[in-house]
Amino acid sequence: MTINADPQELAKFSDLAHRWWDPESEFRPLHQINPLRLDWIDAHARLSGKRVLDVGCGGGILSDSMARRGANVLGIDLASKPLKVAQLHALEAGTASVEYREVAAEALAAEMPAQFDVLTCMEMLEHVPDPSSIVHACAALVKPGGWLFFSTINRNAKAFVFAIVGAEHVLKLLPKGTHEYAKFIRPSELAQWCRNAGIDLCDSRGLEYNPFTRRYWLSGDTSVNYMIACRKPS
Ligand code: SAH
């Protein structure tokens, strides 16, 4: 199986990995959006007691928080350093019921088909050569009736201005080169991949940011950052 990953993308995240849990670092946006996305996921999927897979988990900000809500979480990624940071954080913070593995989503889908109640794949699809293959693997990993959550960045002029010019060049929330415009994903494209993979789109939310108050909130505006919730038919 050829691996669906871009080595330069993985190196970018590995190079910054030691700062993953510093809430004032390059990962500040992930720390800030985490309570918002966690509550939204929990409201849909009721995490407590569920078997959860977090695809592209990085240093484990979302994985760890879902385990703290009572889920049994496996986080997977293909960058080794963020995974080590995630493991170390779980040890230090004493988070039980979270585990991390370096494995591709497609390979895990062959190994553990239909084993997870809930799957999250956040801020990751826009870093992968073939995101539709990830969506397909995710659909295979979830049990019938299970929930899947994806988040990414829309592709249009506003998203270019906010997510690249604004976030990387003006506000410097993210390092330059974090995102590549051509890899952004329109909600219609993501919805098509979900339909092709046999999962139903149930809900969506936009994530908006005010640079003056430095706060994020959920809204109905999916024109820049957005998340979708899907279900695999029972
Ligand atoms: N999902 C986490 C981290 C987002 S950063 C969160 O939202 O908090 C993007 C992550 O995707 C990085 O950890 C990077 O290593 C990972 N990634 C990129 N390409 C990948 C691939 N092909 N397979 C698995 N993980 C990948």
Query: pLDDT tens digits, residue range 114-145?
Result: 999 999 999 999 999 999 999 999 999 999 99
pLDDT score of 2: 80
From the CA of 10, give the closest atom in ligand 1: 15
pLDDT score of 71: 98
What rounded mean pLDDT belongs to the chain? 97
Q: Which residues fall within 8 angstroms of residue 97, CB to CB, at 6 or more apart?
A: 67, 70, 71, 72, 73
Percent residues over pLDDT 90 in the chain: 96
Q: Could you tell me how far CA 54 lies from the centroid of its own chain?
A: 7
pLDDT score of 1: 61
pLDDT of 27 > 70? The answer is yes
Give the chain's length.
234
Say yes or no: CB of residue 106 within 6 Å of ligand 1.
Answer: no
Residue nearest to atom 21 of ligand 1 (CA): 5
pTM above 0.95, yes or no: yes
Whether residue 17 contacts residue 59, with contact meaning beta carbons closer than 8 Å, is answered with yes
Whether residue 177 contacts residue 127, with contact meaning beta carbons closer than 8 Å, is answered with no
The angle that helices 7-16 and 80-93 make with each other, rounded to 10 degrees, is 40
Phi and psi dihedrals of 50, rounded to 5? Answer: -90, 155
Q: Which of helix, strand or coil describes residue 59?
A: coil
Rounded Cα distance between 156 and 20, Å, is 29
Instruction: Tell me what the mean pLDDT of segment 104-110 comes to.
Output: 98
- Distance (angstroms) between ligand 1 centre and the Cα of 35 equals 19
Q: Which residues fall within 8 angstroms of residue 43, CB to CB, at 6 or more apart?
A: none
Task: Choose one of 4, 10, 22, 52 to mutate for the ligand 1 pocket test, by most ligand atoms within 8 angstroms of C-beta.
Answer: 10
Residue type at 117? D
**What are the tokens at 60?**
């484990």
pLDDT for 6-16, tens place per residue?
999 999 999 99
pLDDT for 65-93, tens place per residue?
999 999 999 999 999 999 999 999 999 99
Say yes or no: CB of residue 16 within 6 Å of ligand 1.
Answer: no
pLDDT for 157-211, tens place per residue?
999 999 999 899 999 999 999 999 999 999 999 999 999 999 999 999 999 999 8
- Partners of residue 217 on adjacent β-strands: 208
